[in-house]
């Protein structure tokens, strides 16, 4: 009966892609959505092949129809030298460049006064039905180039932003 246990365990493994932008990024464009790039796949925390990272390191590719959950976070800091009124938004876009469908559950936005050197984070969660051949990109929006996406160097493994995609299964 060990083969039954192996089948049960292999049948219930969530297929996951986890990727981080490890290096800092300072936006050069304001008041427009920009593709997040420079992702590094974390192999030790990724499994299966339902979702993979394209060689451009900014596009995830879907190879299996089903329901997907996507989540992650952004870490950012005001580097302006003074307090600013800051706006930061993010979203996931399905099939960028062809359909450009904004995934509704992924939309996040904050607007507030941020102290110089002040840090903050913005988390997102979304679910969607995706089909084999679909692609997804994470995008950000800022109103100032004085924002830097980064994580504090007090951590052993600083991360600027994260993208996690999980294949949850098929629709019944």
Q: What is the CATH number of the domain that holds 157?
A: 2.60.120.40
- The rounded percent of the chain whose pLDDT value lies above 90 is 78
31-87 pLDDT per residue, tens: 999 999 999 999 999 999 999 999 999 999 999 999 999 999 999 999 999 999 999
Which has the closest alpha carbon to 99: 121, 77, 131, 73? 131
Residue 14 lies in a domain: no
Give Rg (Cα) of the chain: 18
Q: Say yes or no to pLDDT of 151 above 90.
A: no
Distances (CA, A) of 105 to 28, 32, 54: 26, 19, 23
Residue 142 lies in a domain: yes
pLDDT grade, residue 2 (50/70/90)? low
Residue 10 lies in a domain: no
Domain of residue 76, residue span = 19-167
C-alpha atoms less than 13 angstroms from C-alpha of 32 in its C-beta half-sphere = 6
Residue 3 lies in a domain: no
**Mean pLDDT for all residues in the chain:** 91
Residue 118 lies in a domain: yes
Global pTM value: 0.89
Residue 56 lies in a domain: yes
């Amino acid at each position: 009966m060990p083969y039954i246990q192996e089948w049960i365990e292999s049948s219930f493994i969530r297929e996951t892609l986890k990727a981080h932008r490890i290096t800092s990024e300072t936006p050069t464009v304001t008041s427009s959505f920009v593709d997040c790039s420079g992702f590094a796949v974390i192999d030790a925390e990724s499994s299966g092949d339902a979702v993979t990272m394209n060689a451009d390191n900014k596009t995830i590719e879907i190879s299996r129809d089903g329901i997907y959950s996507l989540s992650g976070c952004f870490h950012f800091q005001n580097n302006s030298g003074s307090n600013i009124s800051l706006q930061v938004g993010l979203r996931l876009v399905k099939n960028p460049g062809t359909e450009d469908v904004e995934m509704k559950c992924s939309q996040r936005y904050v607007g507030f006064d941020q102290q110089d050197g002040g840090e903050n984070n913005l988390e997102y969660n979304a679910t969607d039905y995706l089909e084999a051949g679909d692609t997804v990109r994470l995008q950000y929006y800022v109103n100032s180039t004085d924002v830097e996406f980064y994580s504090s160097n007090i951590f052993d493994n600083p991360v600027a932003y994260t993208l996690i995609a999980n294949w949850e299964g098929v629709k019944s």
